[in-house]
Structure 1
């Protein structure tokens, strides 16, 4: 993790792999394929997000084979107690300010597996996400106040970004109310 308790790219991929096993044992190839395909659909192909191998998760004791050994025989894998703890740590990690591919992936994974946390922890994560968007709103509004930078179509783009971040904050409010 980074110093601010946010995930590095490798940990986002680890969260994807552990989360893929959260509903029960699955074959090695299914887990690897899901992690690769989900990441590619959220952020597109990225060398930064190739992540650690499933074999490393096995070696670290976060997952274990139910039947078989590993990649060679497409072993059926399951989460260990340590794997569940790591997944919950990843789900509770901070999200870095700013919009980038890693943040999109981390937010998508958190939302995908948020139901695995207790209700209070779910609300806390949604509140943290809303606070992230509030910070984004503040930064964008400050940018909008600098008239000297408003040439071309920048103002329209900033206003569009502000509109989107306001909708994200409202969405967080709706999700929190439903929890």
Structure 2
């Protein structure tokens, strides 16, 4: 993790793999394929997000074979107690400010597996996400306040970005109310 307790790219991919096993044992190839396809659909193809090997998760004791050994025989794998703990740590990690591909992936993964946390933890994560969007909202309004930078179509783009972040804040409020 970074110093601010947010995930590095490798940890986002680990969260995806561990989360893929949260519903029960699955075949090695299914997990690898799902993680690769999900990440690619959120952020597009990325060498930075190829991730750590499932074998490394086995070596670290976060997953264990139910049958078979690994890649060679397409083993059925399950989460260990340490794997559940690591998944929870990833789900409750901070999200870095700003909009980038890694943040999109981390937010998507958190939302995908948020139901695995206790209700109070779910609300804490939604509140943290709301706080992230509020910071983005303040940054955009500050940018908009500088008339000297408003040439061309920048103002329209900033206003569009503000509308999107306001929608995200409202969505977080609705999500919290329904939790």
Give TM-score scaled by structure 1 length.
Answer: 1.00
Large movers: runs of 4+ above 4 Å: none
Aligned counterparts of 1:6 and 1:50: Cα–Cα separation in 2: 19
Aligned counterparts of 1:58 and 1:101: Cα–Cα separation in 2: 27
Aligned counterparts of 2:176 and 2:65: Cα–Cα separation in 1: 37
Aligned counterparts of 2:101 and 2:5: Cα–Cα separation in 1: 18
For these two proteins, the number of residue pairs brought into alignment is 179
Q: What's 1:6 paired with?
A: 6
Pair 1:155-2:175 in alignment: no
Aligned counterparts of 2:90 and 2:79: Cα–Cα separation in 1: 14
Q: What's 1:144 paired with?
A: 144
Q: What's 1:115 paired with?
A: 115
Q: What's 1:79 paired with?
A: 79
Over the aligned positions, Cα root-mean-square deviation in angstroms equals 0.2
Aligned counterparts of 1:129 and 1:173: Cα–Cα separation in 2: 10
Q: What's 1:27 paired with?
A: 27
Q: Which runs of 5+ in 2 are unaligned?
A: none
How far the C-alpha of 1:44 sits from its partner, in A, is 0.2
Q: What's 1:166 paired with?
A: 166
Give TM-score scaled by structure 2 length.
Answer: 1.00
Aligned counterparts of 1:70 and 1:48: Cα–Cα separation in 2: 24
Aligned counterparts of 2:34 and 2:85: Cα–Cα separation in 1: 21
**1:108-151, CA deviations, whole angstroms, 9 ceiling, x for partnerless residues?**
00000000000000000000000000000000000000000000
Q: What's 2:53 paired with?
A: 53
Aligned counterparts of 2:66 and 2:79: Cα–Cα separation in 1: 10
